[in-house]
Amino acid sequence: MNIAIIGAGYAGMSAAFDLVKAGHEITIYESENSTGGLARGFRDPKWDWSVDRFYHHWFASDNHMLGIIEELGLSDGVIFPRPYTVLLHNKKWYPFDSIKEALLFPGLGWGVNKLRFGLVGVYLRLTKNWQALEKITADTWMRKWAGAHVYEQMWEPMLIGKFGKHYKDVPMSWFWARIHARTTKLGTFKGGFQAFADSFSEKLGEMGVEIRLNAKVKSIKQNQDKNVSVVGENGEEKFDKALVTTSPKVMAKLTPDLPKNYLEKLLELKQMGAVVLVAALKHQLSEEGYYWFNLPKDDGFPFLALVEHTNYVSSEHFGGEHIIYGGDYVEVGHEYFKMDAEELMDKFAESFARINPKFTRDWVRKVWVFKADYAQPVPQLNHSQNIPAIETPLEGIYFASMSQVYPWDRGTNFAVEIGRRAARLMME
């Protein structure tokens, strides 16, 4: 078959990998100037390595991603440095990235609260019955089983930071997936995620996949002869099948001929956007070497997480500079989407100083800002019933996005999984 894939993120590239191995002809359309999707990176002239636009990790349990990396022969590039994640309690930061440190965290209190925290964690790690958990919200379930104190101290700030006003609507199945599958061990790729995306796309090119960068698709439709027409800026091309790996709203815009009930499913899916500031500093911000700061918004922090990338991988890769992320999930239309990098730095500077009182603006050499309308799907109760099928009602047109990996959370691991699943369906 002659197949078009829209989007050169990990879902699209993984589908292409399996399809071209099976002997099909693949053309990937990518509207940006590089591959990698939301895990794309950028590199300043002073740096040897690239930096992700939106910070990403691999977990030790990410079998789909680590598996395809092995198949590609790129496992030598995977590294698992030791990160340190911290939480705030009584104006002091405490490590919180192992079972031992979690149990020692003073914010939990003592006695029954720590017992309930431990039992809830064990239960969520062991149970596989997520279907029962999608019938109740995380807010309700956690208050009942973990207790109000543990929930409000540990998990409620994260849910608010992730989902904003929607946080009380999120089903417990989403929370289960985070606890059940993730590890405290975090991995990345030598050179950054962009280095991996470049290596992946290079391998695909060697296998015969055509990847067209800066190639924006305007529409996709089914012809009378059951072929699929892909209309780009350079005209129309016909394919036997097409796989779209964009956001649901973009999919609905590209394929308006889809039946009304499928289009409605696409458009009813909720999502959060993301705004991320990246700053190159002359000095280390966290002198303790902490990597990930979970920031509680109810304590005056204007964003969700501060991440010192060079406390995870060496600043030697970045010309001795210290790379800081300040990131937040916000709804499209939020004021952060209207701010440039310098305005966001002004907004976030006070928080930098709360991490290190010595911080001043002259530490900052340069700042960048990256924004995405579609960064975090917002699941609802009984969400498994709301997910659009990969195989759309239009014959030959398929759709695979991070909104369909539920109950799992978005991430490159499940992008690989859904891309390969879509490829199998297309070959059937």
What is the tens place of the pLDDT at every residue in 216-261?
A: 999 999 988 889 999 998 899 999 999 999 999 999 999 999 999 9
- Torsion, Cα 227 230 231 234, to 10 degrees, reads -110
Residue 91 corresponds to which amino acid? K
Q: Which residues contact 300 (CB under 8 A, 6 or more apart)?
A: none
Q: What SS3 state is found at 187?
A: strand
DSSP 8-state code for residue 321: -
- pLDDT of 377 > 90? The answer is yes
- pLDDT of 190 > 90? The answer is yes
- pLDDT of 110 > 80? The answer is no
CA 24/CA 18 separation, integer angstroms? 9
- pLDDT score, position 43: 95
Concatenate the DSSP letters of all residues of 3-60 into one string. Answer: EEEE--SHHHHHHHHHHHHTT-EEEEE-SSSSSSGGG-EE--TT-SS-EESS---EET
Backbone angles phi, psi at 100, to 5 degrees: -60, -50
Are 407 and 134 in contact by the 8 Å Cβ rule? The answer is: yes
Highest CATH level, class, for 270-378: alpha beta
- pLDDT score, position 195: 97
CA 42/CA 61 separation, integer angstroms? 27
Nearest to 29 by CA among 198, 219, 200, 193: 219
Lookup: tokens for 48: 């040897």
- pLDDT score, position 37: 94
- pLDDT score, position 334: 94
Backbone angles phi, psi at 236, to 5 degrees: -105, 140
Nearest to 23 by CA among 6, 1, 44, 50: 1
Signed CA dihedral, 418, 419, 422, 427: sign only: negative
- Any bridge partners for residue 280, and if so which? 323, 366
- Any bridge partners for residue 203, and if so which? none
Backbone angles phi, psi at 201, to 5 degrees: -65, -30
Cα atoms in the 13 Å half-sphere on the side-chain side of 361: 9
- pLDDT score, position 269: 93
Write down the residue that tokens 């916000």 correspond to.
Answer: 330
Q: What SS3 state is found at 82?
A: coil
Q: Between vectors from CA 330 to CA 354 and to CA 262, what angle results, nearest 5°?
A: 155
Q: What residues does each domain of the chain span? A: 2-78+191-269+383-427, 98-181, 270-378
Lookup: tokens for 254: 């590209």
Higher-pLDDT residue of 298 and 352 is 352
Q: What SS3 state is found at 342?
A: helix
The separation between the first and the last C-alpha atoms of the chain, rounded to the nearest angstrom, is 12
Q: What SS3 state is found at 271?
A: strand
Mean pLDDT of the 165-189 span:
91
Cα atoms in the 13 Å half-sphere on the side-chain side of 171: 23
Q: What SS3 state is found at 297?
A: helix
- pLDDT of 279 > 90? The answer is yes
pLDDT digits (tens, 9 = 90+) for 319-374: 999 999 999 999 988 999 999 999 999 999 999 999 999 999 999 999 999 999 99
DSSP 8-state code for residue 387: P
Mean pLDDT of the 29-48 span:
95
Cα 73 to the chain's mean position, in Å? 24
* Band of residue 114 on the pLDDT scale cut at 50, 70, 90: confident
Percent of residues, the chain, with pLDDT higher than 90: 82
Q: What is the mean pLDDT of the chain?
A: 94
- Please state which CATH number belongs to domain 2-78+191-269+383-427: 3.50.50.60
Instruction: Please give the radius of gyration of the chain, using alpha carbons only, rounded to the nearest integer.
Output: 22
Q: Which residues contact 257 (CB under 8 A, 6 or more apart)?
A: 221, 222, 394
Mean pLDDT of the 157-184 span:
90
Q: How many other C-beta atoms lie within 10 A of the C-beta of residue 1?
A: 14
- pLDDT of 109 > 80? The answer is no
- pLDDT score, position 82: 87
Nearest to 410 by CA among 294, 250, 274, 301: 274
Residues in the chain: 428
The reported pTM is 0.93
Q: What SS3 state is found at 282?
A: coil
- pLDDT score, position 115: 87
